[in-house]
Amino acid sequence: MISAKLQKIGITILATTVGMTSILPVNTAVAREKIIFLPPVLGSPRRLIPAGTRAYEPPFEGNVNIEIPAQPAPIVPRGSVRGNDGNIYQDIQTQPAPVVAPRDRVRGNGGNIFIIPNERTTPPEQNNNPAPVQVTNQCLQGKIPLTALIPESQLGLTTISNPSLFFYVPQTSAPELELVVQNETEQEVYTQKYKPNDKAGIISIRLPVNSLAVNKQYKWKFSVICNPTDKSQNQVVAGLVQRVLPDIKLVKKLQQATRQERAVLYAAAGIWQDALATVAQRRYLFPNNLEIASDWEELLTAQGVRLNQQIVQQPLIPPPEALQPKNKQKF
């Protein structure tokens, strides 16, 4: 009989060898499930709120199409006639000279004038005499652009009224950041400005309680405000978020699941915001855990997400260290 001291939680195997008996412990830990994100299917097609892009892209400085008024039809002088070939005979009035493209522009085959790529032009709405603002020439440093951690569809589902939105923010000299959330009628339901920190990394912003109604889509816009007097210098990412009600089967599974299993369940159900937040919470607690780091990479590089590998490797900055609100929130 095996003594009580040798009894352990789990399964033990008694192995008998030549003249001796040994106790071999067996590892009964459940194998880690791979996180696979399945983009959601929301039933019949519906018109989405126009979103933006999940990674900031500098304005295109190439050919800009400029509308040119149509040229007036040739004038037929009195006593003159138009032939069947369209030509005017007898005293033909001299036609106005064609519009000549300015020196820094060229005329395309369609008659339109295009700006030759050169230095960035000043937008018409720009204030040419702004108040002095302490902003460097390069608002964001580094080669990785401002990026929102959202799927390729730009739509993130959640089961709660106040999910967290995640962004990679490079080191910046900008005086402030801003998050704006709009409902389906484009009314602002939340806006908040933040003071950036001096670190590059992935930050999260949690919306206030009861921000999102069920089955409603909201558009959010996150901006790095490089110059408060000139919006054309802002660097912006945008996307959509929608709150859904999970089915009863998923609810029961979530109640019995570990944190890692919850991330797997949320991802398999296409509930992006909750899957991302679940893995992020584990990374906050155990930043050096290799299995959690593997979960993070699997989720961010999954089919339908495919974020840049450079984003995956960026540090996750805990909320207390990430951003500080600059003013009272509007909701």
Query: In the prediction, which pLDDT does 87 show?
Result: 60
d(CA 53, CA 261): 30
d(CA 20, CA 22): 7
Token pair belonging to 202: 């992935």
In this structure, how many other beta carbons lie within 10 angstroms of the beta carbon of residue 196? 21
d(CA 61, CA 63): 7
Query: In the prediction, which pLDDT does 25 show?
Result: 42
Q: What is the mean pLDDT of each run of 10 residues along the chain (331 residues)?
A: 45 39 41 87 49 61 40 53 58 46 46 37 35 51 94 96 97 94 95 91 95 96 93 93 96 96 97 98 95 96 94 92 73 51
Query: In the prediction, which pLDDT does 46 show?
Result: 43
Query: In the prediction, which pLDDT does 155 show?
Result: 96
The DSSP bridge partners found for residue 229 are none
Query: In the prediction, which pLDDT does 328 show?
Result: 59
C-alpha dist (Å) from residue 34 to 232, 294, 297, 315? 43, 9, 11, 22
d(CA 205, CA 201): 13
78-115: per-residue pLDDT in tens? 555 556 655 655 544 444 444 444 444 444 444 443 33
235-276: per-residue pLDDT in tens? 999 999 999 999 999 999 999 999 999 999 999 999 999 999
| 197 burial level (CB within 10 Å; 0-12, 13-18, 19+) | middle
Query: In the prediction, which pLDDT does 64 show?
Result: 37
Q: Tell if the pTM clears 0.75, that is, is over it.
A: no
Level-2 CATH architecture, domain 147-325: Sandwich (2.60)
Query: In the prediction, which pLDDT does 78 show?
Result: 58
C-alpha dist (Å) from residue 29 to 9, 15, 170? 11, 21, 39
